[in-house]
């Protein structure tokens, strides 16, 4: 009895840890890092040397490319049949879908956003410098440079628990 209770408790703590640990979208053009990760559960990234997507689950590399299967294609004949429209029971109004999209987008948090750019025009760069200073507030940093370098860095966070809560609200609202 105690063993089962301890196993259920450990599984509950693992699930709770998964729901609370943030999912991070990380984009960095200088380091060529493009990844979505939730430490230590998973990491989905693009390998910069081969430009192939990679997936690590619990630290183990999972192959994403499968074997190619040959399909025996047969020409299909379409029959014209009058079918009655079925009621699937999961019809939501457009306002409910708008609520879902709006709430999911608002649940993301921008941890850091950096943009360094060069327009290859010295006068335009000089004119953009005061505008970049006005735009750079909080986690946003926008700068011009005169080195011919373009750099973009973005870190966005979201918790699976907040996404789950939004979906539950979407499913229960009429």
Does the pLDDT value for residue 126 go beyond 60? yes
Average pLDDT score, the chain: 81
Question: What's the Cα-to-Cα distance from 52 to each of 44, 66, 82, 103, 170, rounded to whole Å?
Answer: 11, 13, 46, 32, 36
- pLDDT computed for residue 75 by the predictor: 59
Residues with Cβ within 8 Å of residue 47, at least 6 apart in sequence:
53, 54
Residue 23 tokens, joined: 């999912």
**Which among 31, 8, 174 is positioned nearest to 92, based on CA atoms?**
174
pLDDT tens digit string along 13-59? 877 777 777 888 888 887 788 888 887 788 888 887 787 888 888 87
DSSP 8-state secondary structure symbol assigned to residue 99: H
% of residues, the chain, pLDDT over 90? 3
Element (H, E) at 172: helix 160-172
- pLDDT computed for residue 82 by the predictor: 58
- pLDDT computed for residue 29 by the predictor: 80
Residue 54's DSSP bridge partners are 45
Q: Which residues of 94-129 are buried (b: 16+ CB within 10 A; e: fewer)?
A: eeeeebbeebeeeeeeeeebbbbbbeeeeeebeebe
Q: What is the pLDDT averaged over residues 82-96?
A: 66
- pLDDT computed for residue 86 by the predictor: 61
Q: What is the pLDDT averaged over residues 86-95?
A: 68
């Amino acid at each position: 009895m105690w063993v089962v209770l301890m196993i259920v408790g450990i599984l509950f703590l693992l699930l709770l840890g998964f729901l609370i640990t943030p999912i991070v979208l990380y984009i960095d053009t200088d380091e060529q890092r493009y990844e979505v990760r939730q430490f230590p559960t998973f990491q989905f990234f693009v390998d910069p040397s081969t430009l192939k997507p990679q997936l690590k689950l619990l630290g183990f590399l999972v192959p994403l490319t499968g074997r190619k299967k040959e399909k025996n294609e047969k020409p299909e004949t379409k029959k014209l049949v009058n079918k009655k429209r079925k009621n699937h029971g999961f019809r939501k109004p457009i306002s409910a879908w708008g609520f879902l999209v709006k709430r999911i987008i608002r649940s993301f948090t921008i941890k850091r956003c950096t943009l360094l750019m060069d327009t290859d025009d010295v006068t335009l760069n000089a004119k953009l410098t005061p505008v970049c200073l006005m735009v750079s507030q909080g986690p946003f940093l926008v700068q011009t440079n005169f080195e011919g370098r373009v750099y973009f860095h973005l870190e966005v966070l979201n918790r699976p628990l907040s996404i789950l809560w939004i979906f539950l609200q979407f499913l229960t609202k009429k």
